[in-house]
Amino acid sequence: MNDGIHTMLDQKVKQYNRIEFIDKDPICIPHLFTRQQDIEIAGFFSAIFAWGNRTTIINKSKELLQRMDNAPFEFCTQHQEKDLKKLLSFVHRTFNDTDLLYCIEFFKHHYAKHKSLENAFFVDVLHKIDQKNKQKNELEAVEKALTHFQAYFFSLEDAPVRTKKHISSPLSGSTCKRLNMFLRWMVRQDKQGVDFGIWKKITPASLIIPIDVHVARVSRALGILDRKQTDWQAAIELTNYCRTLDPKDPVKYDFALFSLGVIEKFN
């Protein structure tokens, strides 16, 4: 472990993991709400939209919420067929109204049986964990949860093939950056007011760093990521390094690595 890098990363976490970070980040979208289900749905969409310019991501997320009358849970679970017309023509990069309508259908299906979206990720995963080896197996919980979530998400009849590119899985080697970021928002809680910490089935120690080209570039420049490909194994390698710095909260270093890459243009 390089003490200088550790100290620098801790300083950057302290600098960026604060309320002032929220307004210019996609996490500002779920922060518009107080009801858990609204936070989950708004957070899911803003995370799924999170590639490219952050201002555009935020604006497109707000546009979608306006089309849902700024009541995402109520809209998803209680809409009539005629209400869906308001969603037609919505597009953000490669995400279009076909993808959106399927997401709405999934949420209606899921919330008819469950109070929280957390169950879509972790219920069928955690009940299989051997309690004697729970700590060891929880380190694999997110990988299993993401694989399970993709299968469950597309289990409805006539799920569009085109939508699958928006919901990634470790099975394909993807970093699952956007879903790992969403899980960070929902699971991690450190009283700084940025992440929500409303999901309790796993601890922050189990989370995986949301790695993208910016985080990967910074990590390689710092010498804390050796893998050349930016894929699931790179996410695991980087997370394991961050666990040596803070075993209980490794993904707090997402604040440091992301901000160094995107805000400070570290090279």
Q: Tell me the per-residue pLDDT of 153-190, one tens digit each, with 9 for 90 and over.
A: 999 999 999 999 999 999 999 999 999 999 999 999 99
Residue in the structure block whose two tokens are 């960026």: 16
Residue 147 lies in a domain: yes
Q: Is residue 178 part of a domain?
A: yes
Specify the pLDDT at position 10. Answer: 97
Residue in this structure with the two tokens 């090279």, named with its chain if needed: 267
In a domain? residue 39: yes
Please give the share of the chain, as a percent, with pLDDT higher than 70.
94
Residue 125, pLDDT score: 57
176 Cβ neighbours under 8 A, 6+ residues apart = 146, 168, 169, 170, 208, 232, 235
Cβ atoms 190, 207 nearer than 8 A: no
Residue whose C-alpha is closest to residue 218's, from 234, 204, 205:
234
Range with lowest mean pLDDT among 15-29, 59-73, 136-150:
136-150
The answer to the question of residue 31 being in a domain is yes
What's the whole-model pTM score? 0.94
Q: Are 170 and 52 in contact (CB under 8 A)?
A: no
Rounded to whole angstroms, the Cα distance separating 244 from 232 reads 19
Looking at residue 70, its amino acid is: N
More confident residue, 131 or 209: 209
Q: Which amino acid is at 30?
A: P
Q: Write down the pLDDT at residue 137.
A: 63
Give the Å distances, CA to CA, from 111 to 40, 63, 157, 161, 193. 11, 23, 17, 23, 27
Total count of residues recorded for the chain: 267
Sign of CA dihedral 71, 56, 26, 175: positive
pLDDT score of 134? 54
Tens digits of per-residue pLDDT, 133-148? 555 566 688 999 999 9
Q: Measured between alpha carbons, how far is 250 from 92 in angstroms, rounded to an integer?
A: 31
Separation CA 44–CA 47 (nearest Å): 5
Count: domains in the chain: 1
Residue 35 domain boundaries = 3-262
Answer yes or no: are the C-beta atoms of 36 and 19 closer than 8 Å. no
Establish if 11 belongs to a structural domain. yes
Establish if 189 belongs to a structural domain.
yes
Average predicted confidence (pLDDT) for the chain: 94
Domain membership flag for residue 267? no
Q: Is the pLDDT of residue 265 over 90?
A: no
Q: Is residue 80 part of a domain?
A: yes
Cβ contact 170:232 at 8 Å: yes
